[in-house]
Amino acid sequence: MSEVLKIEDYKFIIDKINKGNFVFSTSENHLNININNINEIKDSLIDRFKIKEIAYSKQVHSDIVIDFYGEIKQGDAIISTGSKLAIGVFTADCVPILICDYKNKTVAAVHSGWKGTYSNILGKTINKMIKDYKCSSENIIVYIGPHIHSCCYEVGEEIRNKFLEAGFSEDVIEGNNLNLNKCIKDQLSEMKINDSQILEMPYCTKCSKEYKFHSYRRDNKSSGRNFSFVFFD
């Protein structure tokens, strides 16, 4: 069961599964994680969660999947292995996807907006985990974090047609609204990831009333960023 943790001015939603920790920030209490204060945030998180390091990438809305070896690189998914090392992604409506293989302590964090979803960065990440990290699909847990839901995600005709022409099922489009959650679950199904291996936070970053999140669609350039990360004890 999820718990809410308050650290000074920051509030996080946390799930712990098979010694894997899945952590999602909110924007309550003026949380505003961005490149200007990331070192301060990292220090507080490292201290609170008793971890060695927090890693992230330079996100560019790509399908690039990188390995973490101690330096920040360009890409939108990052993979690492071992204990006490957290890896995460920044979002402000895009989908944060946290993945772990609890058998060999491999974790991945994926930033999947419409571009990343369209290019299946999630599938490429899981394939790399299996090929390069000897992960097994049946041992993988996938956690879909807070993101903009179809209720608030209206897209133009060009994006709508791109998804339909790429073979996504018609039910990912609801009128002129795109259902990223449905797209991602369809991709996981193609990867033979069962529903029992998939968890999700049911919150829309734009209109959630239970928790408030940063949302670019709602706040435009004044929006901060949500930070989602995963690590093993």
Domains and CATH numbers, the chain: 3-232 (3.60.140.10)
What does the alpha-carbon distance between residue 50 and residue 32 come to, in Å, rounded to a whole number? 22
> Which pLDDT band, with edges at 50, 70 and 90, does 93 fall under?
very high
| Least-confidence region, from 96-100, 163-167, 182-186 | 163-167
Angle at 81 between CA 89 and CA 201, to 5 degrees: 40
Segment 69-81 shows an average pLDDT of 92
Residue written as tokens 């990292």? 42
Residue written as tokens 């960023």? 225
Residue 35 has pLDDT above 70, yes or no: no
What does the alpha-carbon distance between residue 86 and residue 78 come to, in Å, rounded to a whole number? 10
pTM, to two decimals: 0.94
What does the alpha-carbon distance between residue 111 and residue 44 come to, in Å, rounded to a whole number? 23
Q: What pLDDT score was predicted for residue 203?
A: 96
The number of angstroms, rounded, from the C-alpha of 73 to the middle of its chain's C-alpha atoms is: 17
Could you tell me the CA-to-CA distances from 181 to 25, 101, 156, 231 in Å, in that order? Answer: 19, 21, 18, 23
Q: What pLDDT score was predicted for residue 39?
A: 78
Which pLDDT tens digit goes with each residue over 97-154?
A: 999 999 999 999 999 999 999 999 999 999 999 999 999 999 999 999 999 999 999 9
Share of the chain above pLDDT 70, in %: 91
What is the residue-averaged pLDDT of the chain? 90
**Across the chain, how many H-helices and E-strands are there?**
6, 14
